[in-house]
Structure 1
Amino acid sequence: MTTSKPYLTGHFTPVAEEVTATGLTVEGTLPPELDGRLVRNGHNPKPGVTPTHWFKGSGMVHGIRLRNGRAEWYRNRWVHTPALDGAPYMTERGPDLTASAAGTHVIEHAGRLLALCEANLPFELTPELETVGAFDFDGKLLGAMTAHPKEDPVTGELHFFGSSPFPPFLTYYVSDAKGHIVHDAEVPGATAALKHDFALTRRHVVFVEGNVTFDHAEASGIPYSWNDHQPSRIGVMPRGEDGAGRVRWFSIEPGNMLHVSNAYEDGQGRIVLEGPTVDREGFRLSWNWWVGAPGRGSEPVSRSYTRRWVLDLAAGTVDEQIIDDLPVEFPTLNEEYLGAENRYQYAISFPDEKGLGGYGVVKYDRSTGARRIHRVGDARMPSEAVFVPAAGATGEDEGYLLTVVSDLKQDSSQLLVLDASGLDRVATVHLPHRVAAGLHGSWIPDGPRETSAA
């Protein structure tokens, strides 16, 4: 298929079929604690389908099963939602929350594997990635669910939200460790601004509204655009049953953030929030890539630089600054430190808006300000790097980073296992075909999952 759409070419060329392969070739030695499955999601429209926006491509989940130092299997499956067969999102009765691309993220909570897309209900999958169907938390989830829920590493609760371009604009939910929604509340003061991700600290929930907001005139099928008149703000809500009534909104500089690196309360009780952000020009370059319009950047993210906000709740002030000039996206961390002060963060580096620079896996030391990059090589693009703790780890960066690399020269893909402390290669697993560059994923260990006191 010949196309000018960048999200259907190069590293993003869709996979044309579902396959299962066993006994994968491994170079190096897989650590024995890598006992589980790496699952990763991304937009992958069926052959002959050209979506009007990158985000509208149907979701395909890829899984790699590791056990006892072996790579037992790889398989990829489309998430079989009504949208995969052409069902429209908007109907005469309003939006069909089951007509989902289901292509943004995949997580496990309370034993359920869920494929996520923020405008829809989650879709449950089997451990072998076959589609079970839409999941609405036993009827308690009445609207859409964010693609970026946060599992509290101490309690095992899943915190998430649903956003809408129409009132109520923002609804907050908590599911207990057994998968039952135990709390929901409308958040006052929210607007129709795009809310893709959010942050969780030990004591607060943090929402971010940037300058990208609902635009009914946007023709791509994703009805959002940059608006200089949309206030850019951070909402801080105490955790707990009465938190929504005490939410506070803080004005920040114009911009837009898709993904949070982390947030926490520091020793002075201030909230520290970090994540890659774009300015107006960066959003324009990225959006034009996402829709295949002229005047786009060379990558799906352009001018995306890590920003830090420090919110002093007592003084009612916000200090913010760009803390790195490297274009990055898909920030991750050792999730035992989610919501707590962390020293290390990871991300994927991209070429800048002129195509200069390269792809790599980045490690930040927030204590020293040091930045280290593992370059993956020419014409090779890594996916979001998922952290897995080492057996018996006592240090924050004692573990491994798992990333799936798309190799255009060899028309192949590999699972790359890096030592998270030094970013050295530990092992490479060769996959049966090239995997299209995607979005987010999770490591799902075998056996019971334990909470942390980090």
Structure 2
Amino acid sequence: MTSKPYLTGHFTPLTEEVTAIDLTIEGSLPPELTGRLLRNGHNPKPGVTPTHWFKGSGMVHGIRLREGRAEWYRNRWVHTPALDGAPYMTEQGPDLTASAAGTHIIEHGGRLLALCESNLPFELTPELETVGAHDFDGRLRTAMTAHPKEDPLTGELHFFGSSPFPPYLMYYVADAKGVVVHSAEVPGATASLKHDFALTRRHVVFIEGNVTFDPDNHSGIPYSWSDRQPARIGVMPRGTDGTQYVRWFSIEPGNMLHVSNAYEDGQGRIVLEGPTVDREGFRLSWNWWAGAPGRGSEPAARSYTRRWVVDLADGSVDEQIIDDLAVEFPTINEQYLGAESRYQYAISFPDEKGLGSYGVVKYDRTTGARRIHQVGDARMPSEAVFVPAASASGEDDGYLLTVVSDLKQDASQLLVLDASGLDRIATVHLPHRVTAGVHGSWIPDSDLENSEG
């Protein structure tokens, strides 16, 4: 019996790949939900016990919806060299293809890409079979973040590659067809762990927290909290010459994994929001991820939403915690990425004392209201993906899709919620309990040129 928390409970790995068709539906699926919900997560093969949750091999789960039907579910490992035991470090240096590929999956330029921030992306077919590593025709020669940002106005994909060694931070832009049209080193960056970043209409925003490269950490992910590592926000104008004008602003100690959103307000200030942890919160989370003593019962037990307001004119940063609920996996209506959004969504977690519960959270940033859809006892929802309604007239006119792990029933369901009120619209029953995972995307059929499956 393993003592690793990331191999037990909601995180117990699946042992086989399954395909199921004609799934049972309770309620009525909106016919406009025609596409695929794809979700990635760490799922080591049977007999493999990774030293860190992040090192578990990626498994992608797909649910195919079409015109009111749930046509299929399938789960597939991403077949990278690491799945068969190939090491990341070799005599020639890092093998960027030896990837867990278990953090995220996106579509861009008609390609499905499974992502892990220390490696190259891996392309999958619409039926989730592995095509192979994708290096953007040789123009990507570093790792790629698992959190690229697609500009909703231009279709460009903005992303970065970070490294514990120089160059610490590379910035890339791919056009709407998936061709890298710009790359540059970002000056002034450090070896701080950079998991996510933000894109506004006029700026690229990088976040460096107190978690940085530590060669003495032997969990398999060589990063640790350091009080000597300054916490900073880097602001860079968009455009091919933006790296000449990047500015770094000191902030309070902490670490952010995921950005909710960022934008320029009416005064030209940059507003950045997202869940963050302090030193103790990071210790509890990291110990959980690494299966070390002193871990908390939940990996996000002290993760609270924080807001930074960066005044570019006077060089100041105002920051505050704006909510006392432990949350992670923030999402928005992606049509508002980089612009001021009224609504944000997240997943709530029990806090460090075990108080609270799992749920889907909706924030109204205008009124300050917070609403929670409780999913039930021993049930854990995945990141809630927003899908706009076909004839949407408002920002929250659409649906939230989340996959729930149910320990009591040893089962999982796809919940379709009304994003405006968080009421349940439909439940799709899946053929087995889906391992709690990380990030995913809704891929409408129109985004895949050869979507026949």
Normalising to structure 2: TM-score of the pair? 0.98
Equivalent pair of 1:283/1:302 in contact (CA under 8 Å): no
Q: Name 1:262's counterpart in structure 2.
A: 261
Alignment-derived partner of residue 124 in structure 1: 123
Deviation at 1:448, TM superposition (A): 4.9
**Which letter does structure 1 place at the counterpart of 2:39?**
R
Deviations 1:333-382 (A, max 9, x none): 00000000000000000000122110000000000000000000000000
1:51 aligns with 2:28: no
Go from structure 1 to structure 2 and tell me whether the alpha carbon gap of 1:448 and 1:406 turns closer, same or farther (over 3 Å shift): closer
| Amino acid corresponding to residue 120 of structure 2 in structure 1 | L
| 8 A Cα contact 2:381 2:405, kept in partner | yes
Secondary structure of the structure 2 residue equivalent to 1:447: helix
Measure the CA separation in 2 of the matches of 1:154 and 1:26.
35
1:111, 1:196 → 2: CA distance?
24
In the TM superposition, residue 220 of structure 1 has moved relative to its aligned partner by 0.5
Name the counterpart of 1:352. Answer: 351
The secondary structure found in structure 2 opposite 1:30 is: coil
Could you tell me how far apart the structure 1 residues matched to 2:58 and 2:297 are? 23
Q: 2-side partners of 1:109 and 1:4: how far apart?
A: 39
Shift of 1:391: 1.4
Partner Cα separation in structure 2 for residue 418 and residue 273 of structure 1: 27
SS of 2:366's equivalent in the other structure is: coil
Distance 1:154 1:76 in 2: 32
Q: Distance in 1 between matches of 2:257 and 2:345?
A: 16
Distance 1:294 1:141 in 2: 39
Q: Secondary structure at the match of 2:22?
A: strand
Query: Is the CA contact (8 Å cut-off) linking 2:361 and 2:371 kept in structure 1?
Result: yes
Partners of 1:47 and 1:378 in 2: how far apart? 28
CA distance in 2, matches of 1:378, 1:176: 45
2: CA distance between counterparts of 1:227 and 1:107? 32
The letter of the residue matching 2:111 is R
Partner of 1:423: 422
RMSD, aligned α-carbons: 0.6
Alpha-carbon separation, structure 2, partners of 1:224 and 1:127: 35
Once the two structures are superposed, the pairs formed by residues 134-173 of structure 1 within 5 Å of their partners are 134-173=133-172
Letter of the structure 1 residue corresponding to residue 213 of structure 2:
F
User: CA-to-partner distance for each residue in 1:92-130, whole Å, 9 max, x for gaps?
Assistant: 000000000000000000000000000000000000000
Q: How far apart, CA to CA, are the structure 2 residues paired with 1:152 and 1:160? A: 11
> Match of 2:441, as an amino acid?
S
Asked whether the equivalents of residues 7 and 13 of structure 1 are also in contact (C-alpha less than 8 Å), the reply is yes
- SS of the residue aligned with 2:16? coil
- Aligned positions, number: 448
SS in 2 for 1:428: strand
Match of 1:70 in 2: 69
- The C-alpha deviation readout for 1:140-195, integer Å capped at 9, x for no partner, is 00010000000000000000000000000000000000100000010000000000
Distance across 2 between alignment mates of 1:87 and 1:184: 29
Contact 2:107 2:447 in 1 (8 A): no
Per the alignment, residue 23 of structure 1 pairs with 22
Q: Which amino acid aligns with 1:46?
A: K
Task: Provide TM-score, normalisation by structure 1.
Answer: 0.98
**2:9 paired with 1:10:** yes
Per-residue Cα deviation, 1:288-309 (whole angstroms, up to 9, x for no partner): 0001111111112220000000
Distance 2:261 2:161 in 1: 20
Distance 2:143 2:289 in 1: 22
Q: Does 1:201 align with 2:178?
A: no
**Counterpart secondary structure, 1:311:** strand
**3-state DSSP class of the match of 1:287?**
helix
Where does residue 33 of structure 1 map in the other structure?
32
Which string of whole-angstrom CA distances, capped at 9 and with x for unpartnered residues, describes residues 247-296 of structure 1? Answer: 00000000000000000000110000000000000000000000111111
Letter aligned with residue 36 of structure 1 = G
Name structure 1 gaps, 5 residues minimum: 450-454
Query: Please, which runs of 5 or more residues in structure 2 have no aligned partner?
Result: 449-453
Which residue of structure 1 lines up, in the alignment, with residue 222 of structure 2? 223
**Most deviating of 296-305 and 11-20:** 296-305
Counterpart position of 2:451: none
**AA matched with 2:225:** W
Structure 1 distance, partners of 2:92, 2:145, is: 22
Q: Which amino acid aligns with 1:215?
A: D
Deviates more, 1:159-168 or 1:439-448: 439-448
| Counterpart contact for 1:4–1:292, Cα < 8 Å | yes
Aligned equivalent of 2:302: 303
Q: Kindly indicate whether the alpha-carbon contact (under 8 Å) linking 1:89 and 1:96 is maintained by their aligned counterparts in 2.
A: yes
Confirm or deny that 1:232 pairs with 2:234. Answer: no
- In structure 2, the partner of 1:313 is 312
Measure the CA separation in 2 of the matches of 1:17 and 1:329.
Answer: 28
The answer to whether structure 1 residue 335 and structure 2 residue 359 are counterparts is: no
CA–CA distance in structure 2, aligned partners of residues 391 and 241 of structure 1: 35
Corresponding residue for 1:192? 191
Q: CA offsets, 1:211-265, max 9 Å, x none?
A: 0000000001101000001000000000001000100000000000000000000
Equivalent position SS for 1:285: helix
Determine the C-alpha separation between the residues in 2 that align with 1:380 and 1:432.
16
Runs of 4+ in 1 over 4 A off after TM superposition: none
Distance in 2 between residues matched to 1:373 and 1:219, nearest whole Å: 39
- 2:369 partner amino acid: A
Moved more, 377-386 or 290-299: 290-299
